[in-house]
């Protein structure tokens, strides 16, 4: 039974999802402006705000991000007045990406200014799937929650995917480009190449556990991948459909093998692929469904992904 005095503020969506999976939803007293899952946390006080306009075009967002970071500012600001009122005992944040959520130094600075509480900062820094499982275990241990069954369930779902694609020959494993940003063009990395390979694909242009690299348009065209999957950071299915047009309107697009074969897809990157939490297992199943629809049918099509 969790201590009733525990008051957690989560400043990162994946952290909120980890807490919920561990059965700690009732202990969350505040959230970031981007935390939206599970739905029952949406009415909690919001403790952060963005310094940029996320409705702007991709190139503009990218430029805003660079300008803010070059000014030695965080892209997000913490509402210290809200934190002060909430008096949290713990703050869950991340030290993995300054573009994804409030930066770790910003959280430390905010905490040092609090008068009525001195919360423990729990920082997540996942780069690969194993790191996410370790984070779930670590957060569970901090709050006295046993995560063994939760992790067994998640890992079992991963194994099911692995086993089903194990018998495929190399030429049955499509080459895959996962697009994380359209202007400038960037490929999704960190845990994404690992998920692609587990789902029976061959991930191009990026290495597991490494940051997302930029990609030249000419290189994409020359590589002529079997499958192209859009998963822009922070965008839902509808916004991703709009973003994809930045590339699909280019004349060379029609000549691509993936385009001709009807193997270009959009996904809800914001809900799944961009969040290093429990739903990365869903993300793996989505990829499996996209890459091998003859083997997998989980029922994500239409809500989590669509053919473009």
Whether 289 and 154 map to the same domain: the answer is: yes
Whether 92 and 236 map to the same domain: the answer is: no
Whether 77 and 207 map to the same domain: the answer is: no
**Cα separation values, 225 from 103, 144, 208, 253, 260, Å:** 35, 46, 18, 12, 11
Q: Which residue has the higher pLDDT, 110 or 307?
A: 307
User: Which two tokens mark 195?
Assistant: 């998920």
pLDDT at 104: 79
**Cα separation values, 130 from 193, 280, 281, Å:** 13, 11, 12
- Asked whether the predicted pLDDT for residue 13 surpasses 70, the reply is yes
- Asked whether the predicted pLDDT for residue 304 surpasses 70, the reply is yes
* Domain assignment present for 206: yes
* Domain assignment present for 141: no
Total domains in the chain come to 2
Whether 121 and 233 map to the same domain: the answer is: no
Query: pLDDT for 211-225, tens place per residue?
Result: 899 999 999 999 999
Region 64-88: what's the mean pLDDT? 76
Region 169-183: what's the mean pLDDT? 94
What is the residue range of 17's domain? 8-125
Share of the chain above pLDDT 90, in %: 74
0.85 exceeded by the pTM?
yes
* Domain assignment present for 212: yes
Q: How confident is the model at residue 277 (pLDDT cuts 50, 70, 90)?
A: very high
Q: Name the β-bridge partners of 268.
A: none
pLDDT at 107: 86
SS3 10: strand
- Asked whether the predicted pLDDT for residue 74 surpasses 70, the reply is no
- Tell me how far the alpha carbon of residue 264 is from its chain's centroid: 20
- The closest of 164, 171, 173, 190 to 274, measured between CA atoms, is 190
DSSP secondary structure string for all residues of 178-221: EEEETTTTEE--BTHHHHHHHTT-EE-S--BTSPPPB--HHHHH
Q: What is the CATH number of the domain that holds 109?
A: 3.40.50.1980
Dihedral in degrees, nearest 10, Cα atoms 214, 218, 219, 221? 120
Whether 60 and 203 map to the same domain: the answer is: no
Q: What is the DSSP letter of 80?
A: H
pLDDT at 65: 62
């Amino acid at each position: 039974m969790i201590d009733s005095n525990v008051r957690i503020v989560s400043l990162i969506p994946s952290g909120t999802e980890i807490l919920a999976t561990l059965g700690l939803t009732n202990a969350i007293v505040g959230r970031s402006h981007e935390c939206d899952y599970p739905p029952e946390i949406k009415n909690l006080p919001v403790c952060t705000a963005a310094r940029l306009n996320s409705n702007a075009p991709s190139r503009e967002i990218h430029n805003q991000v660079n300008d803010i970071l070059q000014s030695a500012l965080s892209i997000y600001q913490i509402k210290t007045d809200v934190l002060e009122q909430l008096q949290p005992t713990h703050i869950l944040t991340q030290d993995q990406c300054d573009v994804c959520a409030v930066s770790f130094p910003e959280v430390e600075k905010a905490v040092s200014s609090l008068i009525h509480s001195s919360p423990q900062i729990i920082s997540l820094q996942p780069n690969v799937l194993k790191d996410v499982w370790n984070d779930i275990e670590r957060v569970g241990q901090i709050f006295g929650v046993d995560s063994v069954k939760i992790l067994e369930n998640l890992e079992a779902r991963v194994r099911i995917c692995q086993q089903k694609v194990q018998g495929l020959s190399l030429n049955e494993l499509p080459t895959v480009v996962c697009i994380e940003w359209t202007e400038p063009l960037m490929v999704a990395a960190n845990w994404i190449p690992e998920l692609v390979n587990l789902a029976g694909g061959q991930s191009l242009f990026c290495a597991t556990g490494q940051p997302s690299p930029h990609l030249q348009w000419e290189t994409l065209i020359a590589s002529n991948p079997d499958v192209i999957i859009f998963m822009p950071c922070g965008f839902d299915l509808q916004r991703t459909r709009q973003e994809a047009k930045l590339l699909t309107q280019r004349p060379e697009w029609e000549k691509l093998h993936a385009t001709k074969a009807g193997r270009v897809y959009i996904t809800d990157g914001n809900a799944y692929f961009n969040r290093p939490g429990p739903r990365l297992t869903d993300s793996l199943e989505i990829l499996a469904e996209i890459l091998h629809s003859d083997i997998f049918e989980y029922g994500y099509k239409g809500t989590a992904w669509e053919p473009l």
